[in-house]
A = this chain, B = another copy of it.
Amino acid sequence: MKANKTTFLVFIFLILSFQNILRGEADPLPSWNQGLIKDSIIQFVKETTDPKNENFIPVAERIAVFDQDGTLWVEQPIYTQVFFALDAIKAMALGHPEWKHEEPFKSILENNLEVLKNFKEQEVSKLIAATHSGLSVNRFKKKVRHWLNEAIHPHFKKPFTELVYQPMLEVIQYLKDANFKVYIVSGGGQEFMRAYAEKVYGIPPEQIIGTAGKVKYEYENGEPILKKLPEVLFVDDKTGKPEAINLMIGRKPYAAFGNSIGDKEMLEWTNSGPNKRLMLLVHHDDPIREYAYGPNSKIGTFPEPLMEEANQKKWHVVSMRKDWKIIFPFEKNP
């Protein structure tokens, strides 16, 4: 019996060791430089997943939320979704001769970038309505996927889906491995993001929350379809973020990641719960490897008061320049 028992114990030992190698010893965030922020993320996960720790969170309540544009992927010189809309307008222009004389379409067709950059809400709404509605949800997603396969970022000369931040992909994976349910909560279009988020971030459609248009259940050749309408159901930005988190999740998150004034209320909402919380803002301060914008730059949406609130509430502010070893996945295999 002794031999059997020994074998059994060796077997168990090997399994546990293997798990340790898989889980414990490898660096979960290899693209992050050592420092306070990397340590804080790891500390947060260790404490909240340790049943003996006072900050333990039951698995069912482990919710983390990430903004997308500027937090998970590049948002300059304009949002990826706006690039998509501009290309869609150009592709649709033959069927709309009136657009030659009608804003915002006129400036788009004339490639007038200065006018484009100063579009107000009304013009963006027209743009989104013209390019994001009329189709069924399924056809719209196919259109987005087709575009993503072809389109190239004007500065980086890479497909947009390669311009995701490797350090943040590692945080997503690390949280997922720790049984956190990871959501994207973005001002971007919900259907737009759902077209690629599962492939690009490993986040399923039911965990993608974005600005949502209305849809209409109809029959097409006897088969039901959901047609996208040119009307907004809710805008998932600023106060709309905690409101949409309540609608779609119904729980307060324990961790929130953003980069702009549009994420302020989402971080405040996350921050307002009891127990340990993790709030983090990405500061774009790397004009060489990416862009520099924020409190100390002319462009961007990270104003000084947000930086002050972050400092006061001890939210982490990531310096892309100092905290990230590499920015994009393709830097791993140049």
Using a CB–CB cutoff of 8 Å, the interface residues on chain A facing chain B are: 3-4, 7-8, 11, 60, 63, 137, 181, 190-191, 194, 198, 204-206, 208, 212, 214-217, 223-224, 226, 233-234, 239, 242-243, 246-251, 265, 268-269, 272
Provide the residues of chain B in CB contact with A248, threshold 8 Å. 206, 248
15 additional A-B residue pairs with CB within 8 Å, beyond A3-B7, A217-B243, A226-B242: A3-B4, A7-B7, A7-B8, A8-B11, A60-B198, A190-B247, A204-B250, A205-B249, A206-B250, A206-B251, A208-B250, A217-B265, A217-B269, A224-B265, A233-B247
CB of A60 within 8 A of CB of B204, answer yes
A220 CB to closest chain B CB, in angstroms? 11
CB of B268 within 8 A of CB of A224, answer yes
Provide the residues of chain B in CB contact with A3, threshold 8 Å. 3-4, 7
A242 CB to closest chain B CB, in angstroms? 5
Bound-state CA distance A242–B215 (Å) is 10
**A226 with B243: in contact, given A11-B11, A217-B265, A269-B217 (CB under 8 Å)?**
yes
Q: Which of B8, B190, B269 contacts A224 (CB 8 A)?
A: B269
Provide the residues of chain B in CB contact with A246, threshold 8 Å. 137, 215, 226
Q: Which of B63, B217, B233 contacts A242 (CB 8 A)?
A: B217
Copies in the complex: 2
* 19 interchain pairs, CB-CB under 8 A: A3-B3, A3-B4, A3-B7, A4-B7, A7-B8, A8-B11, A11-B11, A137-B246, A204-B250, A205-B251, A206-B251, A215-B247, A216-B239, A217-B243, A223-B272, A224-B265, A226-B246, A233-B234, A248-B248
Provide the residues of chain B in CB contact with A205, threshold 8 Å. 249-251
Provide the residues of chain B in CB contact with A214, threshold 8 Å. 243
Bound-state CA distance A249–B206 (Å) is 4
Bound-state CA distance A223–B273 (Å) is 10
Smallest CB-CB separation from A183: which chain B residue?
B206
CB of A215 within 8 A of CB of B190, answer no
Q: Which of B191, B216, B250 contacts A243 (CB 8 A)?
A: B216
Smallest CB-CB separation from A6: which chain B residue?
B4
Provide the residues of chain B in CB contact with A181, threshold 8 Å. 206
- Of A206, A208, A249, A265, chain B has the most CB atoms within 10 Å of the CB of A206
Q: Which 7 A-B pairs have the closest CB atoms?
A: A205-B250, A217-B239, A4-B7, A206-B249, A7-B7, A194-B250, A217-B242
Smallest CB-CB separation from A245: which chain B residue?
B226
Smallest CB-CB separation from A194: which chain B residue?
B250
Smallest CB-CB separation from A191: which chain B residue?
B250
A228 CB to closest chain B CB, in angstroms? 10
A3 CB to closest chain B CB, in angstroms? 5
Bound-state CA distance A206–B251 (Å) is 8
A1 CB to closest chain B CB, in angstroms? 10
Bound-state CA distance A194–B216 (Å) is 26
Provide the residues of chain B in CB contact with A234, threshold 8 Å. 233
Provide the residues of chain B in CB contact with A204, threshold 8 Å. 60, 250-251
A310 CB to closest chain B CB, in angstroms? 16
